[in-house]
């Protein structure tokens, strides 16, 4: 990293500020988690995190978070597209609705979704007649995570689409590209990096989500028990080291996944740049 | 106090809360979930009593939440003058952190439990699955709602009540008892994190045929949703749930509230305290002070105490700790 990075002075000051701020807000709490975990010996640590029930919860939490983020990526892109490209009555209202999952306390979201999807709820009763159970199954967890994750994709893709003039599409069409070719070779490369970022944000949010999931999950061990619930369980036993051990593994996996997603995003950005 | 981000945050929150209440004297009572309604009434009664006795105006502030989480908050520095929690185990944990004397349970009458409760069944009106006792819970396609004993104090009482019956049914046969518990928990449709959550699942969402609940919680549910929706079924055997109370020594000695904190808890044993407890569906330890109409709501049944199981430390180690009986029965 060179000291000479631009026309504006103050590199040292800003770097110092960045490091201090990051340390205080992010690194210190994370370090406290790792520090607490160190109270356990290696053997105890392995015992806690390799418990079959904990492993099942990891599979569920990461699986559901990835699936929910993938669904959000597809439908978030679609939503952003509609909001940017078309104007229709009530568009402002729809646009504001997107942010609602951000603003709503997650417990309220969880209770509302459960009331809706429970076998005696509006949607749940109807789905139950079709033999589909949503509330109190892993499917319910997915529904909650899709709900809380959708604004992340829409809000990251929207500004990128707004900058993307329709002329590009028209030019491609006038050169004889089919609709699919326009989407595949003109639009997608342009919005893919932002979509991947939105995916990463939605995923990161979903992995740690507790409030909304706890009401709709059913919390049955090996079936619908998420990692954050196990962490709370450890705390209730006054086993803070055990709780942070489970959290540490979760942090490491999340961090690795986010690094991979970032690399993917950088690759997509480079590739998109080339194709343009 | 250990220097962790959480304890700092809690200390800051407590300091803010303390700064806002400017009375002659204030107390913070850290309690668990279902006591909300009771302490609301009791705090007003105590304030009147204290004013008459000393002329001082007292403001009691309440904090409610899951019993274990509340105990953790106190351990991490929440400035509770008194704790009124769901289980002795949670107050033991506070004592182990050095905040109050290890013999706290001997300092007030009745092992520091001024009111008790028990575990009963709440079933749907007309009792369609004909549930009378614990063995009916594992018959046919009966589906049970009870919270997770790992995350809920109330759920531990439920588990012990089932165990109490199993011990009675198959004396000395631990294997039969464990099999019964395994079958019982196999039928749990939703394992909520807390007792209120389980009540909501059963009452609002309509899941399950039977809810294992605190007696006071079952009465509250009945009162909320009317007598045409549910019935309380009292099993042959259950546990005597003793939610204990204690003064937090380290806090009151710093704040100079030792005398009033002690008086606050002692007043729970007074005629007025006992009357209010019975009114809010807790079984009073001095029934002679309660309204006979309130008392009539509590049927007699055989009740085992936690001491019959060897005390909380042993029970926790054997059943609820990692790798304990509960972990084994849900692991199949």
B79 close contact with A: CB closer than 8 A: no
* CA atoms within 13 A of residue B209's CA, in its CB half-sphere: 17
For residue A5, give how far its alpha carbon lies from the nearest alpha carbon of chain B (Å): 36
Q: Which of A29, A53, A229 sits opposite B193 (nearest CB)?
A: A229
DSSP for B27-38, please give it.
EEEEE-GGGHHH
The Cβ of residue A76 has, within 10 Å, a number of other Cβ atoms equal to 27
d(CA B107, CA B103): 7
Per-residue pLDDT of chain B (332 residues; tens, 9 = 90+): 344 555 555 555 554 444 444 448 999 999 998 888 899 999 999 999 999 999 999 999 999 888 888 999 999 889 999 999 999 999 999 999 999 999 999 999 999 999 999 999 999 999 999 999 999 999 999 999 999 998 888 899 999 999 999 999 999 999 999 999 999 999 998 998 888 889 989 998 889 999 999 999 899 889 888 888 999 999 999 999 999 999 999 999 999 999 999 999 999 999 999 999 999 999 999 999 999 999 999 998 999 999 999 999 999 999 998 889 999 998 86
How buried is residue A2: exposed, middle or buried, by Cβ count under 10 Å (0-12/13-18/19+)?
Answer: exposed
- This model of the complex carries an ipTM of 0.70
Question: Considering only CB atoms, which chain A residues are within 8 Å of B68?
Answer: 235-238
Q: What angle do CA B233, B159, B290 make, to 5 degrees?
A: 50
Strands (E), chain B: 25-31, 58-63, 82-84, 115-124, 144-145, 210-214, 230-233, 237-241, 245-247, 283-284, 302-304
Report yes or no: A234 and A133 within 8 Å, Cβ to Cβ: no
| Among candidate residues A115, A168, A164, A166, the one with its CA nearest the CA of residue A143 | A115
Q: Could you tell me which residues of chain A have a Cβ less than 8 Å from any Cβ in chain B?
A: 28-29, 32, 36, 48, 51-53, 114-115, 118-121, 135-136, 214-215, 218-222, 225, 229, 232-233, 235-239, 242
State residue A13's pLDDT score: 87
Task: Indicate yes or no: CB of A219 within 8 angstroms of CB of B150.
Answer: no
Q: Do B330 and A222 touch (CB under 8 A)?
A: yes
Distance from CA of A167 to the nearest CA of B (A): 53
* Short-list B143, B140, B130, B280, CA closest to B202: B143
Residues whose CB falls within 8 Å of the CB of residue A202, separated by 6 or more in sequence, listed in order: A68, A69, A72, A73, A76, A149, A150, A152, A153
**Is B229 in the A-facing interface, judged by CB distances under 8 Å?**
no
Q: How many CB pairs below 8 A link A and B?
A: 78
- Residue A10 is given by DSSP the state -
Q: Confirm or reject contact between B190 and chain A (CB < 8 A).
A: yes
Residue A200 has pLDDT above 90, yes or no: yes
Residue spans of the domains in chain A: they are 42-275
Check for a shared fold between B5-113+242-269 and B117-241+301-330: yes
Q: Are residues A65 and A148 in contact, defined by beta-carbon separation less than 8 angstroms? A: no
Angle at A14 between CA A10 and CA A20, to 5 degrees: 150
Q: Do A220 and B190 lie within an 8 Å CB cutoff? A: yes
Q: In chain A, which ranges are continuous DSSP H helix?
A: 11-22, 28-37, 42-49, 52-85, 91-97, 100-103, 106-117, 122-129, 138-163, 166-174, 179-182, 188-207, 211-216, 227-236, 240-275
Whether B197 contacts B17, CB under 8 Å: no
Chain Cα centroid distance, residue A121 = 27
User: What does the DSSP 8-state code read for residue A76?
Assistant: H
Nearest Cβ partner for B192 among A219, A235, A238 = A219
Question: Which of B330, B66, B18 has the alpha carbon at shortest distance from B181?
Answer: B330
Cβ-based contacts of A242 with chain B (< 8 Å): 322
Q: How many CA atoms lie within 13 A of B221 on its CB side?
A: 29
State which CATH number among 2.40.50.100, 3.40.190.10, 3.30.530.20, 3.40.50.720 fits the domain covering B117-241+301-330.
3.40.190.10
Confidence band of A166 (pLDDT split at 50, 70, 90) = confident
Min Cα separation B300/chain A (Å): 32
Mutate to test the interface with B, among A112, A219, A241 (most CBs of B within 10 A): A219
Read off the pTM. Answer: 0.80
B88 close contact with A: CB closer than 8 A: no
DSSP per-residue letters across B122-144:
EEETT-TT---SGGGGGSTT--E
Domain residue extents for chain B? 5-113+242-269, 117-241+301-330
Which residue from B minimizes the CA distance to A24?
B5
Topology of domain A42-275, per CATH?
A: MetI-like fold (1.10.3720)
Task: Report pLDDT for B2.
Answer: 44
Backbone angles phi, psi at B117, to 5 degrees: -150, 180
How many residues belong to chain B?
332
CA distance B70 to chain A (A): 10
| Preferred mutation among A40, A212, A221 to probe B, highest tally of B CBs within 10 A | A221
**Burial B142-170, CB ≥16 within 10 A → b, else e:** bebbbbbbbbbbbbbbbbbbbbbbbbebe
CA distances to A53, A158, B171 from B310, rounded to whole Å, are 28, 62, 16
Q: Which of A32, A221, A233 sits opposite B4 (nearest CB)?
A: A32
pLDDT tens sequence across A229-256: 999 888 887 888 999 999 999 999 999 9
B194 at interface of A, judged by CB pairs closer than 8 A: no
Residue B44's SS3 state is helix
Provide the β-strand partners of residue A233.
none
Superfamily of domain B5-113+242-269: Periplasmic binding protein-like II (3.40.190.10)
Minimal CA separation from A62 to chain B, in Å: 21
Which residue in A has a C-alpha nearest to residue B96's C-alpha? A238
Structure tokens at B296: 């009539």
């Amino acid at each position: 990293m060179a000291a000479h990075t631009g026309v504006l002075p103050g590199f040292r000051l800003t770097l110092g500020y960045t490091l201090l701020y990051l340390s205080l807000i992010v690194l210190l709490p994370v370090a406290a988690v790792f520090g607490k975990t160190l109270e356990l010996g290696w053997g105890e640590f392995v015992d806690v995190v390799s418990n079959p029930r904990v492993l099942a919860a990891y599979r569920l939490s990461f699986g559901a978070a990835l699936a929910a983020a993938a669904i959000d990526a597809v439908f978030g892109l679609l939503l952003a597209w509609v909001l940017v490209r078309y104007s229709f009555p009530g568009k402002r209202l729809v646009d504001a609705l997107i942010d609602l999952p951000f603003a709503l306390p997650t417990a309220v979201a969880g209770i509302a979704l459960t009331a809706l999807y429970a076998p005696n709820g509006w949607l749940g009763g109807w789905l139950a007649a079709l033999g589909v159970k949503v509330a109190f199954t892993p499917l319910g967890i997915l529904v909650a995570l899709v709900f809380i994750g959708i604004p992340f994709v829409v809000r990251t893709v929207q500004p990128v689409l707004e900058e993307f003039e329709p002329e590009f599409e028209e030019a491609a069409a006038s050169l004889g590209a089919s609709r699919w070719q326009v989407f595949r070779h003109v639009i997608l490369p342009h919005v893919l990096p932002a979509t991947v970022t939105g995916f990463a944000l939605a995923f990161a949010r979903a992995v740690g989500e507790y409030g909304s999931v706890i009401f709709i999950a059913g919390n049955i061990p090996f079936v619908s028990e998420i990692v954050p619930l196990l962490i709370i369980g450890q705390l209730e036993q006054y086993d803070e080291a055990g709780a942070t051990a489970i959290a540490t593994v979760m942090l490491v996996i999340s961090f690795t996944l986010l690094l991979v997603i970032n690399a993917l995003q950088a690759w997509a950005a480079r590739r998109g740049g080339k194709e343009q | 106090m250990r220097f962790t981000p959480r304890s700092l945050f809690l200390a800051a929150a407590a300091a803010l809360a303390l700064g806002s209440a400017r009375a002659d004297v204030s107390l913070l009572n850290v309690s668990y979930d279902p006591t909300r309604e009771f302490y609301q009434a009791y705090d007003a009664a105590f304030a009147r009593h204290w004013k008459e006795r000393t002329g001082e105006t007292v403001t009691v502030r309440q904090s409610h939440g899951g019993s274990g989480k509340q105990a953790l908050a106190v351990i991490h520095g929440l400035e509770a003058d008194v704790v009124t929690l769901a289980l002795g185990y949670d107050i033991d944990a506070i004592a182990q952190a050095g905040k109050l004397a290890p013999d706290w349970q001997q300092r007030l009458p009745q092992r520091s439990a001024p009111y008790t409760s028990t575990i009963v069944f709440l079933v749907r009106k007309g009792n369609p699955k004909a549930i009378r006792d614990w063995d009916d819970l594992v018959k046919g396609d009966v589906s049970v709602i009870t919270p997770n004993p790992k995350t809920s104090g109330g759920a531990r009482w439920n588990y012990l009540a089932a165990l109490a019956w199993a011990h009675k049914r198959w004396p000395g046969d631990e294997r039969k008892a464990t099999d019964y518990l395994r079958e019982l928990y196999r039928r749990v449709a939703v394992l909520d994190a807390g007792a209120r959550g389980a009540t909501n699942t059963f009452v609002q969402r309509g899941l399950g045929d039977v809810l294992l609940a605190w007696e006071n919680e079952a009465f509250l549910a009945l009162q909320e949703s009317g007598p045409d929706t549910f019935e309380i079924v009292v099993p042959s055997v259950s546990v005597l749930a003793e939610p204990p109370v204690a003064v937090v020594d380290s806090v009151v000695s710093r704040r100079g509230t030792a005398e009033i904190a002690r008086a606050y808890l002692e007043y729970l044993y007074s005629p007025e305290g006992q009357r209010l407890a019975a009114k809010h569906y807790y079984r009073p330890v001095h029934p002679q002070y309660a309204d006979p109409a309130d008392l009539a709501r509590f049927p007699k049944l055989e009740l085992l105490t936690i001491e019959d199981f060897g005390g909380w430390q042993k029970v926790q180690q054997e059943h609820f700790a990692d790798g304990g009986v509960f972990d084994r029965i849900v692991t199949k």
